[in-house]
Amino acid sequence: MADAGTDTKFFESAQALFCAMADFLGSSKAKDVLNYEKYPTYQDFKAGKYNGSFKISKLIKDSFAKLRVTGVALEGGRNSIEEILIRDNDWYKSSINIAVKLIEEINKIDKDFAHIQARDWQLMYFRGAQGGNDLMEHIEELFKIANDNEDKLFGDVNKWSPADIYFASKNAEKKIKDSLDTAKLSKFNLTNLNALINGLIDSGHLLGVSLKKSPDNVIIQKMNFQQKENEKLLQKVKFLSVKEDGTDRDIQIYFGEREAKPLIKIRHDPHSGSLGASKAVKTEIEGKSARLGSLTSFGSGNASRGSPGLTDLWARVDPVFAKKLYASFAKGATNYENNIKKMNGQYAELVGKPATTSGAVLKPLIKKAKASPKKN
Amino acid sequence: MNGQFTIGRKTYKDAKSVVRVKPSLYEVYQNERIYYSKINIVNSFAGMITDYFTEGRKVKDIIESKSASKQDIALQIKKNNVLLEMYKYASALSAKSGKFVIAK
């Protein structure tokens, strides 16, 4: 589901808006109206007309009413959907590409979705946000209950499903809200959750979509629909080579046919707003055309632990090495913490403060000061 | 000076050139933090991971390879499986992950 990036909620809502427009237009008209060759910018598009005299600006407004995007406005300067579509034309093109491709191919995802290809709105479009009290929030609550009942098998909802927006019928909205009431009273688990969601997808009432910026062309890929399809993807994951990048402090593991994406990148992020000793090591999986996911924890080398980090997953294959790797990291992290503490003390004295001065107080003082030749 | 020195996107490899650009105290501080990140944190795992993946002979095709030893094939399978665990979990392809579509 959605992350907390500043622009994220606006471009994801923009994608949902264009999907709602494609839903209204139907598959036969969508390609003709949602067309950036005819309307190169969002302003051109908004000023345009379709079917002779219908204003696209009205289509935009009416489609926005089919969205449930908490905390996002359609227009009104900064912090609106229109602002991002005007500021970044690639998001405008990407929104069109995805909406047109989805309406064209939605019957291939499941034949029960074919009804969306007819003209007029068939669904509502959701993008999750805290306090939304809508379908996405309810799915997230259901996930939390199910995941808690399975000892936190997943670290967060994105590892279960990274859908950024959902299309849903009234029926799906009701079914999910009702399930939330019963889940709270039962030992609702991930099998129950998947049965509920899969049933709604198979009947053409619900679809979760993970969005990647696609200004040139789009591929729609089904995930976890058939074991066979997943196996095909997973069989391609074969170790090719490993490289350490001294400059960026990255380690890169390639698993494609050559030393390019796809790859796994492992990196320490030393950033700390209050000059603390951040031990965050991020593992990112980068696909050929988009980021596929990430692990935010190094873990503790324990395969049975819930919310797994890097060494916990490693332990599922090689527990002895995973433990050693974690032990080495833990030792390094302790040394790092001690060195940062010592270093902060030295810099505090350089700016005329006691060595025990907190990082939050120290930071602006170091920023103001000139370099000391002693530290070079 | 500990290793290389970075200001913005520029990198300086010797102390003389660093002195010439007159870095601010904060830039010096940031570089020292990066140095400790490298020697304490990154070095604690990078070498071990590299050694793990470079152990044995590289086996391009574990089914077709005629020249690889059983030991090398076993190592290659283990390496593939470590990457698979990370890939499956991070990209929501675990056995209990839900259905979704990617538009990319």
Residue with tokens 């306090």: A131
Confidence band for B3, pLDDT divided at 50, 70 and 90: low
pLDDT of residue A3: 41
Q: Which residues of B touch A375 (CB under 8 A)?
A: 25, 28-29, 32
pLDDT of residue A246: 60
Contact state of B99 with A264 under an 8 Å Cβ cutoff: no
Retrieve residue A304's tokens: 């049975």
Nearest-angstrom CA–CA distance, A364 and A344: 13
Which residues are A221's β-sheet partners? B102
Q: Which of A159, A234, A371 sits opposite B92 (nearest CB)?
A: A159
| Alpha-carbon distances of A308 from A239, A265, A282, rounded to whole Å | 21, 17, 13
A267, amino acid identity: R
Residue with tokens 């830039």: B27
Residue with tokens 């152990």: B55
Phi, psi of B103 (to 5 degrees): -105, 110
Nearest-angstrom CA–CA distance, A251 and A91: 31
Q: Which of A190, A209, A221 sits opposite B96 (nearest CB)?
A: A190
- The yes-or-no verdict on residue A268 having pLDDT over 60 is yes
Phi, psi of A7 (to 5 degrees): -85, -15
Q: Which residues of A touch B1 (CB under 8 A)?
A: 376
Instruction: Provide ipTM, 2 decimals.
Output: 0.91
- The yes-or-no verdict on residue A376 having pLDDT over 50 is no
Contact at 8 Å (CB) between A160 and A208? no
Over residues A145-192, the pLDDT tens digits come to 999 999 999 999 999 999 999 999 999 999 999 999 999 999 999 999
Using CA atoms of B6, B10, B14, B20 in order, give the dihedral in degrees to the nearest 10: -100
Nearest-angstrom CA–CA distance, A237 and A241: 12
Retrieve residue A312's tokens: 């916990």
Nearest CA in chain B to A278: B37
Q: Which residues contact A115 (CB under 8 A, 6 or more apart)?
A: A122, A204
Contact state of A268 with B80 under an 8 Å Cβ cutoff: no
Percentage of chain A lying above the pLDDT 70 cut: 95
- In this structure, which long-range contacts are made by residues A48-56, counting pairs with CB atoms below 8 Å and at least 24 apart in sequence? A50/A25
pLDDT of residue A2: 42
- The yes-or-no verdict on residue A374 having pLDDT over 80 is no
Over residues A218-258, the pLDDT tens digits come to 999 999 999 898 999 999 999 999 998 766 678 999 999 99
A244: number of Cβ within 10 Å: 16
- The bridge status of strand A124-127 relative to strand A67-69 is parallel
Over residues A37-56, the pLDDT tens digits come to 999 999 999 999 998 899 99
Contact at 8 Å (CB) between B6 and A363? no
Contact at 8 Å (CB) between A266 and A282? yes
Nearest-angstrom CA–CA distance, A105 and B40: 51
Contact state of B45 with A109 under an 8 Å Cβ cutoff: no
Retrieve residue A137's tokens: 């929030």
Q: Which residues of B touch A326 (CB under 8 A)?
A: none
Q: Which of A88-97, A106-115, B8-17 has the lowest mean pLDDT?
A: B8-17
A48, amino acid identity: G
What mean pLDDT do residues B1-8 have? Answer: 72
Contact at 8 Å (CB) between A166 and A136? yes
Residue with tokens 């690889």: B68
Q: Which of B26, B45, B92 sits opposite A329 (nearest CB)?
A: B45
Q: Which residues of A touch B41 (CB under 8 A)?
A: 268, 270, 279, 281, 329, 332-333, 336
What mean pLDDT do residues A57-81 have? Answer: 91
